Amino acid sequence: MKATEINILEEVELDNPIFIEALPGVGHVGKLVADHMVDELNATKFAEIYSPTFPPQVLVGENGLIENMVNELYYIRDLGEDNVDVILICGNTQSLSPDGQYIVCNEILDFLEPYGISRIFTLGGIPTGQPVENPKVLGSASDEAHIELLKEVGVEIRSNDGGIVGASGLFLGLGMRRGIYGACLTGETPGYFIDAESAEGVLLKLAELLNFEINTEKLDERAEETRQMLAKAQQMEQDLINRANAGNADDLRYIG
């Protein structure tokens, strides 16, 4: 394979669809949102994307079965009260190199432009380095109109705090050059585990922006499992500290 391949599985006509990017990244926040939307909203896969810029590997899944590194395009018709059409990109990877990111994002936008995409929303995580109670959803946008939309649903606007790396940034930047505007939603996350709580926060803000309802019970359950795991790890860490301090105190009494 010397170039990106887009395999069309179904020819589909959509009405000025909104494009949503939710590929793997920090805390897998975007990927969790995408997987949940696909399951809960009965999204239909219509294309698969393969690229030599993806990692040179396959993934080993359940029962030893392998899967290719791939991005997938899904569509949802008449979503929510506004009956909008949506194209969602998800998958198990992004391109490895900066060049690869630019090439693949541009090629995907080339492929999608004939569908008449009207807006772009990108989803991901923003690392905090440590657990956060009630993680916030932060936002940025490629025009003032979308900044105002983010404010209306209570998204905190980012300001002079760094870049948006990878597909979440490039789709917005490259889209802006084509006259297609939108916003990025990022959920606070420690970044070192799969963060369902942050994903749920991002999904609920997206649902407000696009005026649709979605059941988040499965994300709730996964978030609770993660909270319990973290609480157990923190307790074990505290126990080790307490034992170490007790040992030091015994040593001091013995010497004194």
- SS3 for the chain, per residue? CCCCEEEECCCCCCCCCEEEECCCCHHHHHHHHHHHHHHHCCCEEEEEEECCCCCCCEEECHHHCEEECCEEEEEEEEECCCCEEEEEEEECCCCCCHHHHHHHHHHHHHHHHHHCCCEEEEEEEEECCCCCCCCCEEEEECCHHHHHHHHHCCCEECCCCCCCCCHHHHHHHHHHHCCCEEEEEEEEECCCCCCHHHHHHHHHHHHHHHCCCCCCHHHHHHHHHHHHHHHHHHHHHHHHHHHHHHHHHHHHHHHC
Average pLDDT over residues 22-50: 96
The CA distance from 103 to 100, in Å, is: 5
Q: What token pair was written down for 140?
A: 């940025």
Instruction: Label residue 253 by pLDDT band (50, 70, 90).
Output: very low
- Asked whether 229 and 62 are in contact (CB, 8 A), the reply is no
Residues β-bridged to residue 86? 18, 76
Report pLDDT digits (tens) over 184-218: 999 999 998 999 999 999 999 999 999 999 999 99
Please give the model's pTM, rounded to 2 decimal places: 0.89
How far is the C-alpha of 8 from the C-alpha of 49, rounded, in Å?
A: 9
How much is the pLDDT for 247?
66
- Which of the four pLDDT bands, split at 50, 70 and 90, describes residue 175? very high
- Looking at the structure, tell me whether residues 208 and 251 fall in a common domain: no
Is residue 161 located within the same domain as residue 36? Answer: yes
pLDDT attached to residue 100: 96
For residues 175 and 209, state if they share a domain. yes
* 48 DSSP β-pair partners: 7, 72
Averaged pLDDT for residues 26-50: 96
pLDDT of 37 reads 97
Compute the distance between CA of residue 96 and CA of residue 18 in angstroms, rounded to an integer: 26
User: What tens digit of pLDDT does each residue of 120-155 get?
Assistant: 999 999 999 888 889 999 999 999 999 999 999 999
Q: Are residues 233 and 207 in the same domain?
A: no
Residues 55 and 181 in one domain: yes
Per-residue model confidence (pLDDT) at position 238 = 73
Q: Considering its fold, how many domains does the chain have in total?
A: 2
**Domain check: are 166 and 110 in the same one?**
yes
Alpha-carbon gap, residue 139 to 162, rounded angstroms: 12
Are 200 and 223 within 8 A, CB to CB? yes
Residue 148 and residue 36 share a domain: yes
Domain of 206, CATH number, reads 3.40.50.10900
Q: Are residues 250 and 210 in the same domain?
A: no
pLDDT value, residue 234: 64
Residues 231 and 140 in one domain: no
* Whether residue 114 sits in one domain with residue 56: yes
**Mean pLDDT lowest among 88-97, 156-165, 207-216, 222-231:** 222-231
Q: Taking the mean position of all CA atoms in its chain, how far away is CA 183?
A: 13
- The answer on 226 and 205 residing in a single domain is no
Domain with 233, as residue range(s), is: 217-256
Q: Is the pLDDT of residue 170 over 90?
A: yes
Question: Is residue 208 packed enough to be buried (19+ CB in 10 Å), middle (13-18) or exposed (0-12)?
Answer: middle
Q: Greater confidence, 227 or 8?
A: 8
First to last CA, the chain: 73
Share of the chain above pLDDT 90, in %: 81
Q: What pLDDT shows up at residue 254?
A: 46
pLDDT band at 226; cut points 50, 70, 90: confident
* pLDDT at 176 exceeding the cut of 80: yes
Same domain, 159 and 251: no
